[in-house]
């Protein structure tokens, strides 16, 4: 599949059908309870392991399936269509391992990637801090060299999978006076002293824990530094360029779930003596929802294709476009779905209110959509 062709292959179409049947049978039945209890979806994750979904984003050389990015987007879509929290169980470990895949030593790759591919181990990506979200260079976490080790001290916030993950990829300053150029990247095992003092209560993605990760003089072998000292900011941005399109895929999947449920509801719900699907105004709402989401899907697939085929070209710009457009679309679609269901859409009796709450965070994490627009406009003005 090239950057200019977005029609799915027959193999990808069949894979989507398999994933949809799997998600509806094994994931969807737990989605409402996962949202209600705000607990990690262990049963759904176990089902994903049975289908070897954690392996898709890991190279074959390290025990993974080495799937192309469009195929990975399909997986994210189909899981998100029924339970966005479950989709994060796959996305977050891939995000955590991307620095290892692209910048880690052979030793780190061979030790950790096969365990993540099998689902035996999960990973988190620790970049943000309470006062350093969009402004990454303002981070305060420190890494001080001590012989053959580093001593890491600091607090990371908004960390997905906090308390669940076995390993944490942590960004910290090795040179606090060098701004973004003084950041380095480390792989830290939970048992070395990582603590999670609190989780945050969220409006959506409630089955995916988010919290604070604290390191107090945690000793990390220098062999677990990813890349060279001072390369952390570059590694972080390189990683997000390759991860943002899959957040777009997550947003597309959430919106598709809302569209599909709305269409089914319209055929079953009656008003004025006929199914509300006969009302032209509601038909037009559904059509607009579907058109916008298809446009978002095409942009996501283009960005995903760039990851595989043109990673040094316009990926930064198109990854930001895909993430921003798809998440804005998802938010709009889910609001429309609630409106389409009327009073029922506002209740927890139906899933569209959950879709709306889950969609909101896709506009925020991995860079707010305001940040994405900065990235896009910067690229456009650079080429003008």
Residue 189 is a catalytic residue: no
Residue of 77, 229, 353, 366 marked active site? 366
Report the interhelical angle of 369-383 vs 315-341 (nearest 10°): 140
Question: Tokens 């040094």 sit at which residue?
Answer: 312
Say how far apart CA 355 and CA 337 lie, in whole Å: 9
Say how far apart CA 205 and CA 143 lie, in whole Å: 32
Q: Secondary structure of the chain: what % helix, strand, coil (to 5)?
A: 60, 15, 25
- For residue 70, the surrounding DSSP H or E stretch is helix 69-82
Find residue 184's DSSP bridge partners.
172
Contact 148, 222 (CB under 8 A): yes
Contact 125, 169 (CB under 8 A): yes
Say how far apart CA 264 and CA 277 lie, in whole Å: 9
C-beta neighbour count of 60 within 10 angstroms: 11
- For residue 297, the surrounding DSSP H or E stretch is helix 280-309
How big is the chain, counted in residues?
A: 384
Q: Which residues are catalytic?
A: 366
């Amino acid at each position: 599949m090239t950057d200019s062709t977005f029609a799915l292959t027959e193999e990808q179409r069949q894979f989507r059908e398999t994933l949809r049947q799997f998600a509806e049978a094994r994931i969807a039945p737990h989605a409402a309870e996962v949202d209600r209890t705000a607990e990690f979806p262990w049963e759904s994750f176990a089902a994903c392991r049975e289908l070897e979904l954690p392996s898709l984003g890991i190279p074959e050389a390290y025990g993974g399936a080495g799937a192309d990015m469009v195929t990975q987007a399909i997986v994210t879509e189909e899981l998100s269509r029924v339970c966005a929290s479950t989709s994060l169980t796959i996305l977050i470990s891939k995000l955590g391992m991307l620095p290892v895949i692209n910048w880690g030593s052979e030793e780190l790759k061979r030790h950790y990637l096969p365990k993540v591919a099998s689902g035996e181990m999960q990973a988190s990506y620790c970049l943000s801090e309470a006062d350093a979200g969009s402004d990454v260079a303002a981070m305060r976490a420190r890494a001080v060299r001590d012989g053959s080790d580093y001593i890491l001290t600091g607090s990371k916030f908004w960390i997905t999978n906090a308390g669940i993950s076995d390993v944490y990829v942590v960004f910290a300053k090795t040179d606090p006076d060098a701004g973004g150029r003084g950041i380095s990247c480390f792989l830290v095992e939970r048992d070395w002293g990582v603590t999670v003092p609190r989780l945050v209560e969220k409006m959506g993605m409630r089955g995916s824990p988010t919290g604070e990760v604290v390191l107090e003089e945690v000793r990390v072998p220098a062999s677990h530094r990813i890349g060279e000292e001072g390369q952390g900011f570059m590694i972080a941005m390189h990683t997000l360029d390759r991860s943002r399109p899959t957040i777009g895929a997550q947003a597309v999947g959430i919106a598709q779930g809302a569209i599909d449920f709305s269409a089914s509801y319209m055929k079953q719900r009656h008003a004025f003596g006929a199914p509300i699907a006969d009302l032209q105004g509601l038909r037009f709402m559904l059509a607009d929802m579907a058109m916008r989401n298809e446009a978002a899907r095409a942009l996501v697939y283009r960005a995903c294709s760039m990851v595989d085929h043109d990673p040094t070209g316009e990926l930064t710009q198109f990854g930001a476009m895909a993430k921003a457009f798809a998440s804005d679309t998802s938010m709009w679609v889910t609001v429309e779905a609630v409106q389409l269901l009327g009073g029922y859409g506002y209740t927890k009796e139906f899933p569209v209110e959950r879709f709306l709450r889950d969609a909101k965070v896709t506009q925020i994490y991995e860079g707010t959509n305001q940040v994405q627009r900065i990235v896009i406009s910067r690229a456009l003005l650079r080429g003008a």
